[in-house]
Amino acid sequence: MDPQHHQLHVILLPFPAPDHMIPLLDMARLLATRNVKATIITTSVNASAFTKAIETSHKVGNLNLNLEIFKFSAEEAGLPEGCDNAEFAMKHGLAPQFVQANQLLSEQLEQYLDKVQPDCLVTDILFPWTAEIATKVDIPRIVFYAVSCFSLCAQELIRVHEPFKDVSSDDETFSIPLIPHEIKFVRSQISPNLINNKDFISKLIDSKIKKSGDESYGVIVNSFYELEPDYADFFKKEMGRKAWHVGPVSLCNRSTEEKVLRGISASMNEHECLTWLDSKKSVVVLYICFGSIVPITAPQFYEIALALESSGKDFIWVVRNFENDEEWLPPGFEQRTQGKGLIIRGWAPQVLILEHKAIGAFVTHCGWNSTLEGITAGVPMVTWPVFAEQFYNEKLVTDILKIGVSVGLKKWSRMPSSDDLIQREAIETALREITERDAAEDMRQRAKQLKDMAWKAVAEGGSSYSDLSALIDGLRSYRTQKRV
Ligand code: UDP
């Protein structure tokens, strides 16, 4: 067949955690909308996160999107049966076993790739072991980054130049060297792993993961050029990596059904949420959600409840992790805020909520998916980073894009304690600042401009659209050259 007309086949291997699976599912859909056959590999426990979305894709767009189920060897790696998702493993301190269990997929992956001979493997950054397999079966391997370019650059420069060594206390600020903006950090906002390089995950990142990224055919970044042009350029130039900015990938979900079915099933029916939001005026509702894994404590949720109540604002608040309300909810809170607030216990249809015209601001932990979804919806943010690369995303939102205010948390921690509590007064101040003060309107205007830029980027001829075309063309050329 003429190589120009051959339908490319791309295999996508997501890391089994919601925040990694959701954008890679979107990426697969995006490829399929460009006439590429896309196959997602997962294990049986995680399959439900994809099946409905894939069925909808077949129905709505007749897309060539497929699912391939591998066997997960939990027991062999010392994990309880059915522990195929990172959430359980992280909660129970089983990260090394979980990493090993995933690595045990390598044999199945090699056999599968050998059999189907696809044109490319798109893999999560957390799967460095895929590098060797891609080389063996001779296909290009692309690493998918569900993080901002700014955080990639900032983290790498901090890792290499160690500017935190120039300060003598956790409160003294330092700047990140060599980047285009003057961005101030304090030491406590930086992952201790970057400073001490001691724990399992950081050792893995520093050694195998970084190396495997460096050795890949290139990287896909879930961001768009106009959002962080300085850092997109900086990344390409300084890091010497082929990079395609194809985001925001969540924008491939156009219908309500598609938006609801990406990832975990929502705990509240979308109609209920939307009807409630429809009853509200424009830009008055706060949406509060801390993503899929951040462990906000019960006392902290209690403070948030009191801040919400005394602010008198309308809100939708997503609460996970608690068995019963007494742990975190002030007595009588829901009666007192009836009509003003909606609590979703579990999983919310986030993209759908953020896009509603009633949403005025987003209180977010600054996970990259959430941050980008907030930007894409044109919503200003109260930033509440906790760990991972969230403190960098906060700086992007507050200091570079200037579409958010920080709630003031300054300590990176996988397990926040009562010492890290943000008091109700500080929370209320941030809620008022993002909705009432003069600066709030400016932030809203800027956020709306970014939203428009995001939609332009993914539209035909836009920067993300063109980068995806370049990626697909590159894979075609690779195929042609391989056959010569
Ligand atoms: N999400 C959602 N409903 C929820 C919580 C999270 O749809 O109730 C989605 C959210 O839209 C985002 C992802 O889960 O796509 C969370 O990823 P993010 O990078 O923001 O945070 P993480 O979970 O990694 O901390």
Determine whether the shortest distance from the Cβ of 292 to ligand 1 is under 6 A.
yes
CA distances from 407 to 309, 383, 411 (A): 17, 6, 12
Catalytic residue among 26, 119, 124, 467: 124
Determine whether the shortest distance from the Cβ of 247 to ligand 1 is under 6 A.
no
Q: Which atom of ligand 1 is nearest to the CA of 294?
A: 25
The number of C-alpha atoms within 13 Å of 333 and in the hemisphere containing its C-beta is 22
Residues 278, 285: Cα–Cα separation, whole Å: 11
Catalytic residue among 20, 245, 356, 365: 20
Distance between Cα 373 and ligand 1 center (Å) = 9
Q: How many CB atoms lie under 10 A from the CB of residue 108?
A: 17
Q: Name which residue sits closest to atom 24 of ligand 1, judged by CA.
A: 19
Determine whether the shortest distance from the Cβ of 268 to ligand 1 is under 6 A.
no
Distance between Cα 19 and ligand 1 center (Å) = 6
Query: What is the 8-class DSSP label of residue 348?
Result: -
Candidate of 316, 343, 350 to mutate for ligand 1, largest count of ligand atoms within 8 Å of Cβ? 350
Distance between Cα 291 and ligand 1 center (Å) = 4
pLDDT in the model for residue 481: 84
Could you confirm whether 20 is annotated as catalytic? yes
The answer regarding whether domain 9-252+458-483 maps to CATH 3.90.1150.10 reads no
DSSP character string of 110-145: HHHHHHH--SEEEEETT-TTHHHHHHHHT--EEEEE
pLDDT in the model for residue 111: 97
**Would you tell me the crossing angle of helices 424-435 and 438-458 to the nearest 10 degrees?**
70
Q: Which atom of ligand 1 is nearest to the CA of 366?
A: 20
CA distances from 433 to 45, 101, 362, 426, 437 (A): 43, 46, 12, 10, 5
- Counting as low any pLDDT under 70, the low residues of the chain are 1-4, 197-214, 484
Determine whether the shortest distance from the Cβ of 347 to ligand 1 is under 6 A.
yes
Q: Which atom of ligand 1 is nearest to the CA of 351?
A: 11
Residue type, 218: G
Residues 207, 202: Cα–Cα separation, whole Å: 8
Each residue's pLDDT tens digit, 228-287: 999 999 888 877 778 999 999 999 988 888 888 877 777 778 889 999 999 999 999 999
Residues 287, 428: Cα–Cα separation, whole Å: 14
The answer regarding whether domain 266-454 maps to CATH 3.30.110.70 reads no
Residues 229, 467: Cα–Cα separation, whole Å: 14
Determine whether the shortest distance from the Cβ of 248 to ligand 1 is under 6 A.
no
Determine whether the shortest distance from the Cβ of 403 to ligand 1 is under 6 A.
no
Distance between Cα 20 and ligand 1 center (Å) = 9
DSSP character string of 41-72: EEEHHHHHHHHHHHHHHHHHH---EEEEEEPP
pLDDT in the model for residue 76: 84
Residues 181, 208: Cα–Cα separation, whole Å: 30
The number of C-alpha atoms within 13 Å of 212 and in the hemisphere containing its C-beta is 25
**Would you tell me the crossing angle of helices 438-458 and 463-483 to the nearest 10 degrees?**
30
**Residues 459-462: contacts with CB within 8 Å, 24+ apart?**
462/224
Q: Which atom of ligand 1 is nearest to the CA of 267?
A: 8
Could you confirm whether 124 is annotated as catalytic? yes
Q: Given this chain, do its domains 9-252+458-483 and 266-454 carry the same CATH topology?
A: yes
Distance between Cα 136 and ligand 1 center (Å) = 35
Distance between Cα 6 and ligand 1 center (Å) = 36
Distance between Cα 110 and ligand 1 center (Å) = 31
Sheet of 218-221: strand order equals: 65-70, 37-43, 9-13, 120-124, 141-145, 218-221, 243-245
Each residue's pLDDT tens digit, 55-70: 888 887 788 999 999 9
Determine whether the shortest distance from the Cβ of 318 to ligand 1 is under 6 A.
yes
Determine whether the shortest distance from the Cβ of 18 to ligand 1 is under 6 A.
yes
pLDDT in the model for residue 4: 62
DSSP character string of 3-26: TTTSPPEEEEE--SSHHHHHHHHH
Give residue for tokens 């189920």. Answer: 69
For the chain, what are the domain ranges?
9-252+458-483, 266-454
Question: b or e along 171-201 (b: 16 or more beta carbons within 10 Å of the residue's beta carbon)?
Answer: eeebebeebeeebebbbbbbbbbbbeeeeeb
Strands 173-175 and 184-186: antiparallel
Q: Is the dihedral of CA 108, 110, 115, 117 positive or negative?
A: positive
Residues 202, 194: Cα–Cα separation, whole Å: 7
Residues 448, 470: Cα–Cα separation, whole Å: 28
